[in-house]
Amino acid sequence: MSGSETMAALVAGTATSGDPAVVAVNDIRQVQCTRGGVPTCTGTVIAEDRVLTAAHCAERRTAASFGILLGDDADAGTGPLGEGVDLVEVTELIVHPDYDPTTYAWDLAVLVTAEPMGVEPVLVHDLPLDASFVGQSARVVGFGAHSDEATPFHKREGTVQISEVDGNELTYTPGPAMTCAGDSGGPVFAQIGNDEVLIGVTSRGDATCEVEGVAIDIGSAVDFLGAE
């Protein structure tokens, strides 16, 4: 998550081996070339070659600095840069044109991969949220590091409660889980009818990961998701 937070994990979440479309966004720019790449954010597969994440994860970076890691663990690797982990190459980085790094408005970015990832994309909500979503439960997923896990960057999930819908953002409170550092760019899912759909992308929250999180409303940005 963004801002001044110094946080660690999806709080009160549980390890999961589900959600194959939720992927780790790894940074492969490291000067420590004994690592395969350090997990920095979370992303969601929205098309066979597109990963949706937060724009602040991509600030001052190029497409070549990213690698997408599929699976349950955002492993940083053990060999020379890129060795030991199966990173999917990113060839294009598209940041929302209205993204504001000072306010985190429109905190969205799309990473285009060199090849199809072989993962079924998630269903995306295509209408702006309204007040009827307030009070509903939602599910968050992310790769935030967790000190209690033998593998610290294992994918975790948890439940939050939507507390506010304002403009193109939604705010959620613990339910009992809460997003934290490393979960930025990850999905917020909600049940709509018979389907669980992507309604938001985790952007930021309070410094303690105890009070609230803020996500960008995907239904307000559907035109951007297919941008070239």
Q: Comparing C-alpha atoms, which of 140, 15, 146, 10 is closest to residue 71?
A: 15
Q: Comparing C-alpha atoms, which of 213, 205, 200, 225 is closest to residue 109?
A: 225
Is the pLDDT score of 7 beyond 80? no
Would 22-113 and 123-219 be classified into the same CATH topology? Answer: yes
Does the bond joining 20 to the residue before it have cis omega, within 30 degrees of 0? no
Half-sphere exposure of 131 (CA within 13 A, CB side): 0
The CATH number assigned to the domain with range 22-113 reads 2.40.10.10
Task: Measure the CA–CA gap between 165 and 7, rounded to whole angstroms.
Answer: 25
Task: Measure the CA–CA gap between 96 and 84, rounded to whole angstroms.
Answer: 32
Residue matched to tokens 């660690």: 8
Whether the Cβ atoms of residue 26 and residue 68 lie closer than 8 Å to each other: yes
The stretch 5-13 carries a mean pLDDT of 54
CATH superfamily of domain region 123-219 = Trypsin-like serine proteases (2.40.10.10)
The stretch 170-174 carries a mean pLDDT of 96
Q: Which two tokens stand for residue 220?
A: 């307000």
pLDDT single digits (tens) 97-122? 999 999 999 999 999 999 999 999 99
pLDDT attached to residue 80: 53
Is the pLDDT score of 40 beyond 50? yes
Task: Measure the CA–CA gap between 89 and 115, rounded to whole angstroms.
Answer: 8
Q: Can you give the residue ranges of every domain in the chain?
A: 22-113, 123-219
pLDDT single digits (tens) 70-98? 988 877 665 555 555 678 999 999 999 99
pTM of the full predicted structure?
A: 0.89
pLDDT single digits (tens) 140-164? 999 886 665 566 678 999 999 999 9
* Distance from chain centroid for Cα 2: 12
Task: Measure the CA–CA gap between 132 and 165, rounded to whole angstroms.
Answer: 9
The stretch 28-45 carries a mean pLDDT of 70
pLDDT attached to residue 21: 96
